[in-house]
Amino acid sequence: MFHWLEKHPFFFAVAIFVTIAFAGLIEILPNFAQASQPVVGTKPYTTLELAGRHVYIKNNCMGCHSQLIRPFKSETDRYGHYSLSGEYAYDRPFLWGSKRTGPDLMRVGNYRTTDWHENHMKDPAAVVPGSIMPAYRWMFKNAADIDTAYAEQITVNKVFKTPYNTEIPMADGTKATVPLAATVDEAKAAALVEAKVIAADMKDQDVKDAVAAGQIPEIVAIIAYLNSLK
Amino acid sequence: MENRPLEYDYTVAKWFMLTTVVLGIVGMLVGVILAWQMAFPAVNLMAGEGLAEYTNFSRLRPLHTDSVIFGFTLSGIWATWYYVGQRVLKVSMAESKFLMVLAKLHFFIYLLVVVAVVGSLLLGISTGKEYADFEWPIDIAVVVVWVIWGMSIFGLIGIRREKSLYISIWYYIATFLGIAMLYLFNNMEIPTYFASGGIGAWYHSVSMYSGTNDALVQWWYGHNAVAFGFTVPIVAMIYYFLPKESGQAVYSYKLSLLAFWGLMFVYLWAGGHHLIYSTVPDWMQTMGSVFSVVLILPSWGSAINMLLTMKGEWQQVASSPLIKFMILASTFYMFSTLEGPIQAIKSVNALAHFTDWIVGHVHDGVLGWVAFMIMAALFHMAPRVYKREIYSKSLMNTQFWIQTLGVVLYFTSMWIAGITQGMMWRAHDEFGNLAYSFIDTVTVLHPYYTIRAVGGTLYLVGMFLFAYNMYKTMTSSRRVEESELQNASPMGA
């Protein structure tokens, strides 16, 4: 059979394809519907949080920080409850990372604050002596891309039925709704309201001035995102 | 007419040889910068505060991975394809105008993609998936390049004189099919600009999969991109170049059959070992783990087949630096394909995952196996495509030892770093509290990061020697006759 295949390239290629394809079919497909169900309390991202998530991706934070707490005592002691599949239901892409040069950030919103992040992003080693993380001072100057974040919200709402403007059950029995703005301008206005809350906790005068003038620097967006990780 | 030896056309092979060398140096230079940044964070500011955004670790890291994978390695694969393909199929590229135009198109569109990738990664335009960082416009261009390569493979096969496909061709076909399938499925994404009716950045897209599903598809891709980029085509090379250079026949045809079909069947299952103790179902993690261990068989099958090909001719390893490169590559392949399965065992993975041990594993594979084999292939090809002897044998020997030392420093330091950090993360004191804060587990790694940076720098020095040797071979080495090009490549002192 093999000798015959080696003289018939077309069938040879088909044989290879079948051999390599079915592992994926068996391993990946069966889990698809189940794995995309959110757990109680998992909300889609607001426009500002999503813009912050884009800043996180733009600067490849996941190159050094995981967002996946494994079910070991040493990990739950350090980072909090181990990760559940449904908590990632609205993560496109997933940001688990593959290397922990810095600590896990899955629940960083539980134990770090806006001003901690502000100081840390400006000069990591001043906050954590010995840190090898580079500073991210350009985030204080660059403007966050709210438009693209809003475009992504519309896309996931339309294509994947991500539940914006929908009541979502919370762990404490209440309901929460994440609004989806009707226009870009509305989305920007809503993001600015969120940004003002963050900026109020910050010390950098340039950032405060920018937000007061209606702009949203990247640092504000990424802090909004990091604060949402719980 | 039929009795005259074929005149092979190496135009495109030469071009890809050039990009292999250039992108290899670029990718490894960036890697060395990253290594020094981890040892000495001040290096992040090497070009000043104003350019810090573009020179800092996080922005450069994808540039390193993508330029060595999609730059250096892919160029090497294609350089060897446009050389090996003609020779084992006994047909010249010059015989088909269509295939020649296709091959040139292949090269130039690839160059455009390279430029687009470098630019977009520096600007931070990324989908956020490792080794699949490119946004949709680049993905489309990649697919075009890939389809052209496929047409080139099957076109050349279509007009072949040698009816039976040699082992190397099996592996090239598998590379083409494997990457095509993986890349397409993992990069399924929706451009937000079009879906939202023209809002925001035109190049931005959102993944079709979310969370755990996205992770599953990504690591099915990520792991198997290694399979079909770093293993399969490199095996294609060694099956051609080692027998050619040594003048020995491949030791066992049956073993090559077993190794090939075994690899095809087993490799794809093993992706789950990247997700052990994550939120994917337990049975998939176990499958990933078990199949990773089974993977030792086909991997070692090829490696042993290659080592046994040298049976009775081991003195060549001592006398020829070219054979040295290939035998060390084969040995590192065995080493790396044993280390991988060990790391895929659940209890070992609990310790190793997220640490530098994984980084060490990747690098003993790519530096020791992939890069050594690609460089050996280029060394073997150079006299045959330029009709000149290799410029300097002693320079090759020097390069070999400098780079071998570099790899050894790299993986030993990363083993120690990884295991140290893994042990410190899980250490508890007598009261059951965590013994170390996270930063303790970072500062302790400083000496190992420094050693790794030295190892990487040595390897890069070797790359420069390689480039110089190749350049001299191209331009000013002694010309050789066809009769000198039978087996062992002619080399100057």
Q: Read off the pLDDT of residues B326-367 as tens digits, 9 standing for 90 and up.
A: 999 999 999 999 999 999 999 999 999 999 999 999 999 999
CB contact (8 A) between residue B212 and residue A85: yes
Contact: B354, A99; criterion CB under 8 Å: yes
DSSP assignment, residue B68? I
Q: Does A49 touch chain B (CB under 8 A)?
A: no
> Which residues lie below 8 Å from residue B330, measured CB to CB, with a gap of 6+?
B238, B242, B303, B306, B307, B369
Which stretch of DSSP H or E encloses residue A13?
helix A9-28
Nearest to B121 by CA among B200, B162, B62, B71: B62
The reply to whether A74 touches chain B by the CB within 8 Å rule is: yes
B163 in reach of chain A (CB within 8 A)? yes
pLDDT class of B3 with cuts at 50, 70, 90: low
Residue of B nearest to A124 (CA): B41
Q: What is the pTM of this model?
A: 0.95
- Rounded to the nearest angstrom, the minimum Cα separation between B55 and chain A is 10
Closest residue to B165, CB basis, from A6, A20, A70: A6
Q: Mutate one of A3, A10, A36, A94 to test the B interface: name it (highest B CB count within 10 A).
A: A94
Q: Considering chain A, what percentage of its residues have pLDDT values greater than 90?
A: 87
Kindly determine whether residue A134 and residue B58, on different chains, have CB atoms separated by under 8 Å.
yes
Total number of domains in chain B? 1
The residue behind tokens 């989305």 is A187
Measure CB to CB from residue B439 to each of A32, A130, A155 and give the nearest one. A130
Residue B95 lies in a domain: yes
- Judged against a pLDDT cut of 90, whether residue B467 lies above it is answered with yes
Question: Residue B404 falls within a domain, yes or no?
Answer: no
Residue labelled with tokens 């998992």: A42
Least Cα separation, residue B252 to chain A (angstroms): 15
User: Contacts of residue A159 in chain B, CB cutoff 8 Å?
Assistant: 190, 195
CB within 8 Å: A61 and B157: no
Closest chain B C-alpha to A60 CA, distance in angstroms: 5
CATH topology for the A36-228 domain: Cytochrome Bc1 Complex; Chain D, domain 2 (1.10.760)
- Number of cross-chain residue pairs from A and B with Cβ atoms under 8 Å apart: 255
Average pLDDT over residues B418-443: 96
Average pLDDT over residues A60-71: 97
Rounded to 10 deg, the angle between the B74-89 and B167-186 helix axes is: 140
Give the chain A residue nearest B204 (alpha carbons). Answer: A148
Average pLDDT of chain B, as a whole number: 95
Instruction: Answer yes or no: is B295 within a domain.
Output: no
Nearest C-alpha of chain A: how many angstroms from B329?
Answer: 25
pLDDT tens-digit map of A3-17: 899 999 999 999 999
pLDDT confidence band for A87 (50 / 70 / 90): very high
Per-residue model confidence as pLDDT tens digits over B401-422:
999 999 999 999 999 999 999 9
Residue B237: inside a domain, yes or no? no
Whether chain A has a CB inside 8 Å of the CB on B206: the answer is yes
Interface of B with A in 45-84 (CB under 8 A): 45, 49, 52-53, 56-59, 61-62
In a domain, B393, yes or no: no
Return residues 132-151 of A near B (CB < 8 Å).
132-138, 145, 147-151
Select the more confidently predicted residue: B4 or A203.
Answer: A203
pLDDT for residue A36 is more than 90: no
pLDDT of residue A27 exceeding 80, the answer is no
Instruction: List all residues 6 or more positions away from A175 whose beta carbon is below 8 Å from its beta carbon.
Output: A167, A168, A169
Average pLDDT for B247-259:
94
Residue in B126, B174, B264 nearest the CB of A57: B126
Residues 152-211 in A contacting B (C-alpha not used; CB under 8 Å) = 152, 154-156, 158-160, 184
B144 touches A: beta carbon within 8 Å: no
Reported as a single tens digit per residue, the pLDDT across B171-204 is: 999 999 999 999 999 999 999 999 999 999 999 9
pLDDT digits 0-9 by tens, A165-207: 999 999 899 999 999 999 999 999 999 999 999 999 999 999 9
Q: What is the pLDDT of residue B2?
A: 53
Q: Model confidence at B6, in pLDDT bands (50, 70, 90)?
A: confident
Q: How far is CA B456 from CA B360, B364, B460, in A?
A: 11, 11, 6
**Number of neighbouring beta carbons within 10 Å of residue A89:** 23
Residue B170: pLDDT over 50 = yes
Distance CA B134, CA B129 (A): 8
pLDDT of residue B1: 46
In angstroms, the CA B79 to CA B18 distance is 9
ipTM reported for the complex, 2 dp:
0.95
Residue range(s) defining the domain that contains residue B132: 1-164
Does B86 map to a domain? yes
Q: How far is B110 from chain A (nearest CA, A)?
A: 24
Least confident of A26-35, A87-96, B55-64: A26-35
A214 touches chain B (CB under 8 A): no
Two structure tokens written together for B348:
């070992």
CA distance B360 to chain A (A): 12
Q: What is the mean pLDDT of the segment spanning B151-167?
A: 95
Query: Looking at chain A from residue 12 to 41, which residues have their Cβ under 8 Å from any Cβ of chain B?
Result: 12-13, 16-17, 19-21, 23-24, 27-28, 31-32, 35-36
Asked whether residue A22 carries a pLDDT value surpassing 90, the answer given is no
User: pLDDT digit string (tens) for A105-147?
Assistant: 999 999 999 999 999 999 999 999 999 999 999 999 999 999 9
User: Buried b / exposed e across A40-56, counting CB within 10 Å, b at 16+?
Assistant: eebbbbbbbbbbbbbbb
**Which residues, including other chains, have CB under 8 Å from residue B32's CB and lie 6 or more apart?**
B453, B456, B457, B460
- Cross-chain CB nearest to A28 (options B127, B217, B265): B217
B436: phi > 0 → left, psi -120 to 50 → alpha, else beta; which? beta
B118 in a structural domain: yes
Partner B contacted by A105 (CB < 8 A): no
Q: DSSP label at B205?
A: E
Nearest chain B residue to A50 by CA: give it: B206
